[in-house]
Amino acid sequence: MLVTPGQIKAARAMLDWSAEDLGKRVGVVKTTISAIETGRSNGSVEVLGAIVGALEKGGIEFQADGGVRPRQNKVLTLQGREGFAAFREDILAEAKIASLDVCVSNVDEREFDKWGAGGVNDAYIVKMREHKPKQFRILVKENDTYFTGDYASYRWLPANSFGEISFFIYAQKTAIISFENDNFEVFIINQPKITSFYRKDFEKMWAQARTVNAS
């Protein structure tokens, strides 16, 4: 979709992002964003596509009449291998902005390895190490020792408390993840109140969970 400099600037303002914030998500310097917004540069197709993608993931809808508005449902749905890669990219985009406090529950990391096998997971792990999250805590099923993140802390949930649906909290977003029927599907909810609720729920579970390798 073609967008105008005015739409980009308006969308960024709606999200309360600086030019530097958007640039970090896109992988360019803030002067590139400013040049595009002021019309001093048209920007490449790749950069413009990345800008639109970042703003849409942030919760913006671009309208055909030249307007912008917040996405009405504030939920982004991603599916399959391409969706998994986009999910990983969104986490890393948030990690570029600020040190993340990540909370993950009901996860079997074999599924993450399966859907991100190869370049997606390899790049994600390298970049996550570089970004050095403030906290990265993961709740797995009791006695599961399949751990992939050396930047993460793990605790065990009792088997009877382990659910089929995973949730993954990062920044102000809550991702609800399903691996059912040999498919990956994630619903990314960009709503601070919902995220705050899930964080509080996670803290209770984390406090009650058993330390890995504890007797």
Q: What is the pTM of this model?
A: 0.74
Note whether 204 and 99 are same-domain residues: yes
- Show which of 38, 54, 70 is a domain's final residue: 70
Residues 116 and 193 in one domain: yes
Residues 129 and 195 in one domain: yes
| Host domain of residue 87 | 75-211
Residues 161 and 190 in one domain: yes
* Residue 152 shares a structural domain with residue 206: yes
3-state SS record for 15-41: CCCCHHHHHHHHCCCHHHHHHHHCCCC
Residue 178 sits in the same domain as residue 98: yes
Can you give the pLDDT of all 215 residues of the chain as single tens digits?
578 999 999 999 988 899 999 998 888 999 999 999 998 998 888 899 989 988 988 888 888 888 888 776 678 899 999 999 999 989 998 898 889 999 999 999 999 999 998 889 999 999 999 989 999 999 999 999 999 888 999 999 998 888 888 999 999 899 999 988 789 999 999 888 999 999 999 999 999 999 987 44
Residue matched to tokens 């074999």: 110
Encoding tokens for residue 110? Answer: 């074999």
CA dist 5 and 34 (Å) reads: 9
Residue 40 belongs to domain with CATH number: 1.10.260.40
Contact 137, 130 (CB under 8 A): no
Domain boundary at 70, 96, 125, which?
A: 70
The CATH code of the domain that includes 123 is: 3.30.870.10
My answer on whether 49 and 84 are in the same domain is no
Give the separation between CA 117 and CA 111, rounded to whole angstroms.
10
Instruction: Supply 153's token pair.
Output: 């802390």
Considering the domain architecture, whether residues 25 and 66 belong to the same structural domain is answered as: yes
Q: How many DSSP H helices and E strands does the chain contain? A: 8, 10
CB 14 within 8 A of CB 21: no
- Which residue type does 24 have? K
